[in-house]
Chain A
């Protein structure tokens, strides 16, 4: 009995390390908003260079979990995070951690495209500039170009870098925001329903982009769309009422989920 358990544990560890290294890990994560609990003991690993999708009905805590990963919840009055969240093994809520560095390493793309009301160039150059990543103008130009290229936006905007970023279409704006996040060379990119404000064509482009970005970045994406989760992610985590219902490889989650709630949700019976 005892032997079997140990063997199972060993096998599990082995298989995890086989799949991918763990980039971020949530251990027993709880979140309270002004005393009201929003997350209950979530344990979730985010594997490196994969897309992890967080799904679940509205108010299930998936965005809350996402925002805990780079401490964006700090900006919300009355929000308290418990448990442990690690990035490469370091606790991100450790008082010694530098939140500016953390947010540079764990970038974020928001639900509504939110470019700064400045030029396209300035939008992308802002991050490298405040972090002092580029040593001179030509390096900065290079970063801007490569970031826009990685965000699949360069060809569309290269002739109008000085035009305001807010003048782009919704899908372009969102890719600009992705380029802005990429420009500071993050290791993890968090995306909070990045396509919910976009039309289907723009959505397809952003999804394609997410798939490409996986090669270099670890991505966590919150989405309302089952199809999107199925299309872009390798791993899926299902949240419900503040609890992590289950998580696993995306193919398995969508074909043979363990939990009935997951099955009901992905088949559209609630949510």
Chain B
């Protein structure tokens, strides 16, 4: 054999050679199959995650309501003082009229079918549109959580009465309302436009979404310029010596620091020292910025490095100064990659919970924040709060909130991918 190889005569058709080639092809196929199995595995888990979330969460996207007509022209309302009218009685009278006579002993159970905030809903609608006072208006009143669950089939009416959260009389009245065609299950816009509430039927994500928005805005405003400036200095100006090596290693380490540590830092420094307002998106955003910064510096440095040196030389070669070469040529060319990295960093920050918990963004707050100084929650902390709430309705809402968060993440990552595909230059 050896002699054969040396003389250059190789018998490619021999059995041994053919078997060897077959084995090599088989190895190729095996490698491919491992990869496919791995992808199948990963996709499978993703499907399970989204599947279970959708299965528990889809009910939160509709809300059982009762359509109630209220004749406001007959009601005792002072047009100059809409806030002061006795909305509770007005609404209760209207609700009573929807079914026949209700014994006094049943009234409490009956009113509990509807959300306890019904008077405020009606009041706010009228204040928004005073013309409603001229006649009979229709209001869509959400049912309270137990009845909502009943309507969604989550409570079994065949159970003994003492084992369910709705009693027989409530079921009876509910059936009456349904028979009159007053019960509907429209899309639950409140999930997006209401702030948090103790009552699941009213709880929504508006506060959390705007809180997350403000926090991310703060995070972006801080980490983007600082990250780019740091990266430019390290990549373009800093001498390569021991000190810059240490800085580089520490930036890489910082990227791996658990986010809860940044939360503790924020708690100690931003709240403790600086005395910034607790639960504010400002502080949450600052913690997130600390967390995003190392990632952003690393991404920016990599993208600056990926601009070929010929562009730098071209600029320097016609007498551009260093800042001109960087700001006119290198930075614009690496911007798409930097933007992609920034969006992915922000998406990471959007899902980050631990630092926000530590700076108090898990408070119970019933109005969306109007700015970065007002107390608010954020999407991940809202999920945390709801997951902790005992009411049945929050189970579905937690899943729905997770789906909303995932949707935001998907959208952000899609934008990042789009930017990369559309603008990134291959050298």
A interface residue numbers (CB < 8 A to B):
70, 72, 75, 77, 100-104, 107-110, 112, 114-117, 126-127, 130-131, 177, 180-181, 183-184
Contact = CB atoms under 8 A, between A and B. Distances in A.
How many residues of B sit at the interface, in one of the four size bands?
Answer: 20 to 34
A180 B313 contact: no
Given A110-B310, A112-B310, A184 B318 contact: yes
B125 interface: no
Contacts of B317: 70, 72, 103, 107-110, 181
A103 B312 CA distance: 13
Contact of A116 (B240, B309, B321, B329): B329
A208 B158 CA distance: 98
Contacts of B324: 130
B333 interface: yes
B321 A100 contact: yes
A63 to B, nearest CB: 12
Interface string B35-56: 0000000000000000000000
Contacts of B312: 75
B425 interface: yes
Contacts of B315: 116, 126
A75 B240 CA distance: 13
Contacts of A107: 317-319
Contact of B316 (A72, A117, A180): A72
Interface in B303-361: 308-321, 324, 328-329, 333
Contacts of A126: 315, 318, 320, 328
Contacts of B319: 100-104, 107, 127, 130-131, 184
Contacts of B318: 103-104, 107-108, 126-127, 180-181, 183-184
Contacts of A180: 314, 318
A48 to B, nearest CB: 20
A108 B317 CA distance: 5
22 contacts: A75-B309, A100-B320, A101-B319, A107-B319, A108-B318, A110-B310, A110-B317, A114-B313, A114-B314, A115-B314, A116-B315, A126-B318, A126-B320, A127-B318, A127-B320, A130-B321, A130-B328, A131-B319, A180-B314, A180-B318, A181-B318, A184-B318
B320 A177 contact: no
A75 B320 contact: no
Interface string B186-216: 0000000000000000000000000000000
A101 B313 CA distance: 15
A207 B231 CA distance: 42
A184 B321 CA distance: 14
B313 A110 contact: yes
B425 A75 contact: no
Interface of B: 240, 308-321, 324, 328-329, 333, 425
Nearest to A114: B310
A184 B316 CA distance: 13
State the majority secondary structure of interface residues on B.
helix
Nearest to A75: B316
Nearest to B324: A130
Nearest to B308: A114
A177 B425 CA distance: 20
* In the complex, the 7 A-B pairs of residues with the closest C-beta atoms, listed nearest first: A104-B319, A114-B310, A108-B317, A103-B319, A127-B318, A114-B314, A100-B319
B310 to A, nearest CB: 4
Contacts of B314: 110, 114-116, 177, 180
A183 B319 CA distance: 11
B229 to A, nearest CB: 21
A110 B318 CA distance: 11
Contacts of A127: 318-320
B333 A117 contact: yes
A104 B16 CA distance: 68
Nearest to B312: A75
Given A108-B317, A126-B315, A126-B328, 6 more contacts: A72-B313, A72-B316, A103-B317, A103-B318, A103-B319, A126-B318
Contacts of A72: 313, 316-317
B311 A116 contact: yes
Contacts of A117: 311, 333, 425
A126 B332 CA distance: 15
A103 B313 contact: no
Nearest to B314: A114
A183 B309 CA distance: 22
Contacts of A114: 308, 310-311, 313-314
A116 B425 CA distance: 12
Contacts of B310: 110, 112, 114
Contact of A75 (B311, B313, B321, B329): B313
A119 to B, nearest CB: 14
A213 to B, nearest CB: 16
Contacts of B311: 114, 116-117
Contacts of A70: 317
A77 B240 contact: yes
A247 B406 CA distance: 71
Nearest to A112: B310
A104 B315 CA distance: 11
Contacts of B308: 114
Q: Name the residue in B311, B316, B321, B324 with the highest tally of chain A Cβ atoms < 10 Å from its Cβ.
A: B316
